[in-house]
Amino acid sequence: MKNFVSIFLLMLLMGTLVAFAISCSPPQNDKARLERDIKAEKEKIARNLSELRDNINQQLDKIDRELDHATDKAKERLNEAKAELEQDRNAVEKAMDDVKNATEETWEEIRNGTEKAYAKVEQKVKSATDSIAELFE
């Protein structure tokens, strides 16, 4: 009878340990889910930044083509727009590097900063695009 009680208590203890071990698993799942979420966010932001950089490059190419035929006044405005777009492209490329190199610990800050920078640069590019279009209407 004493052995039966000992075995019963041992099984009860083992069951408790197994239940405890199982309950500790979800944080690993949460961490994996967080890593997947961060990876997906990084990919999306990197795509958006890449598209914005491509748009800037297209505008710079357009400016280079138009400079040959522009008046002196238009050339001055085009060169100003070109310099600004080149700065914007540099900011976008820096943001792309920041996103690529972000860690789980730095991601929140990098994401917030990148989203703000993206919105600002996107607006500046739109404004520059509109200004360039006005020169040739």
**50-104 pLDDT per residue, tens:** 999 999 999 999 999 999 888 999 899 999 999 999 999 999 999 999 999 999 9
CA distance 95 to 91: 6
Whole-structure pTM value: 0.73
pLDDT tens column, 3-49 = 555 666 666 666 665 555 555 555 567 777 767 888 999 999 999 99
Q: Per-residue pLDDT averaged across 92-117, rounded?
A: 94
Q: How far is CA 62 from CA 50, 78, 118, 132, in A?
A: 18, 10, 22, 9
What confidence score (pLDDT) does residue 19 get?
58
From residue 67, give the alpha-carbon distance in Å to each of 86, 99, 125. Answer: 16, 34, 18
Domain extent listing, the chain? 33-135
54-59 long-range contacts (CB < 8 A, ≥24 apart) are: 55/125, 56/85, 56/88, 56/89, 56/92, 56/125, 57/89, 59/85, 59/125, 59/128, 59/129, 59/132
How confident is the model at residue 18, as a pLDDT? 58
Question: What's the CA gap between 36 and 33, in Å, rounded?
Answer: 5
- At 121 the pLDDT is 92
Confidence category of residue 133, pLDDT binned at 50, 70, 90: confident
pLDDT for res 114:
94
Q: 33 vs 115, which has greater pLDDT? A: 115
